[in-house]
Structure 1
Amino acid sequence: MTTIKMTSGEFTFLARLEEEKKPESSRWLLEQLPLTVTMIQGAWSGRAVFADLHGIGQGVVFEHPTSYPLPGEILLYPGDEMGSTGKYIIRAP
């Protein structure tokens, strides 16, 4: 199990990759590190932030996708053929 550190301003979080359940997504993320993105608070979705991937996630497979993250989960939406550039969605506990 791999743990990564995420920093936003004065806040630091540890994230555990679900490599057994999502091996391709985990491998892709590790290859991108260190990754710097701009986080945007999603006012319409409660305590969550979004980070646009600007297309670098294209081609990452969807592994057990969900639209409803649990508190503390980080979702990777790699983008799609419709032109979406992909996003990270982080829901606060």
Structure 2
Amino acid sequence: MMPACSRNRWSCVFFIVYLSIELYFIMNLLLAVVFDTFNGVEKMKFKSLLLHKRSAIDHAFQLLVSRQRPNGVSLKQFDGLMRFYQPRMSARDRFLTFNGP
């Protein structure tokens, strides 16, 4: 046996109690902290991605806007975009998508 256990039997009991507290309580606390930190980092990544997408959409809108229609996109511009973005979409579907709600 280990030298500490051969001198005092209570050291084995202490070791078992210590391990049970460490494994079941402290490790759960550590896992909760790691999980909370992970969620915070993922939330920040999501916010950053959402803001990046929004700025990209604003930039794309500014590229599609013409001088004749400064507040909107013309059907011709939208049709050209959709021909590039989804080439298999029919002309009817492009028109309905443009005039949708």
User: TM-score, length-normalised on structure 2?
Assistant: 0.22
Structure with the largest fraction of helix: 2
Larger Rg: 2
Which of 1 and 2 has higher RCO (CA within 8 Å, sep 6+)?
1
Q: Could you state the TM-score of these two structures normalised by the residue count of structure 1?
A: 0.23
Which has more strand, going by share of residues? 1
